[in-house]
Amino acid sequence: MKIFCVGRNYSLHAKELGNDVPTEPVIFLKPETALLRTGHPFFIPPFSNEIHYETEVVLRICRVGKGISPEFALRYVDKVSVGIDFTARDLQDKLKSKGLPWEISKGFDGSAALGEWVDTENLNLDQLDFSLLLNNQNAQIGNTKDMLFSIANIISYISNFYTIKIGDLIYTGTPAGVAKVNPGDTLEAFLGQQRVLNMKIK
């Protein structure tokens, strides 16, 4: 299983971190050991003092594909959820300042929280509302219509470089509003009005 992630896919998020708005998808990967299922707590790792949440719509791939045209790309998704791309922001900033790869700030164990799956059959993937509550307060609100690169285009782009396989996941990017988590926090993520993720920070 591969976990693909899209960086800077919402312009306001790119700007809040002082990054340029990309002209093509920014892709990175997390290892399988990053996966953290809903209900399991997230433990703040000892190597970071600034872990940020990034709430994202997550896709599950249901077919094998390579070089997929955007017009056929949505056929490769059968489930959708909301997940959290946990990021060691202090470590990421340090590595970026040195021009070094920053995968360890994104791909550490437990950094890819994943909610419960929802069938895509009756959903418009280009207009999905999603949100995050931090300690019962609104923290992030997004809609996939605001993506710089649509879900179909993301799948197509990734498949130019990687063969996608059944069970692969794609984290599609986060809107503005990322912030630090602290021990004792509770995170709840929603797809529309349906709560799909509930977890504690420890």
Query: pTM for the complete prediction?
Result: 0.95
Cβ within 8 Å of residue 100, ≥6 positions away: none
Q: Distance between CA atoms of 166 and 187, rounded to whole angstroms?
A: 28
Residue 100 has pLDDT above 70, yes or no: yes
Residue 21 has a pLDDT of 74
Amino acid residing at 41: P
β-bridge partners, 158: none
User: Which class in CATH covers the domain with range 3-200?
Assistant: alpha beta
* Residue 63 amino acid letter: R
The pLDDT value recorded for residue 12 is 63
pLDDT over 90 percentage in the chain: 91
Per-residue exposure over 62-76, b if at least 16 CB sit within 10 Å of its own CB, e if not:
beebeebeeeebbeb
Domain ranges of the chain: 3-200
Q: Is it the case that residue 13 has pLDDT exceeding 60? A: no
Residue 18 has pLDDT above 70, yes or no: no
Per-residue pLDDT of 112-169, as tens digits, reads 999 999 999 999 999 999 999 999 999 999 999 999 999 999 999 999 999 999 999 9
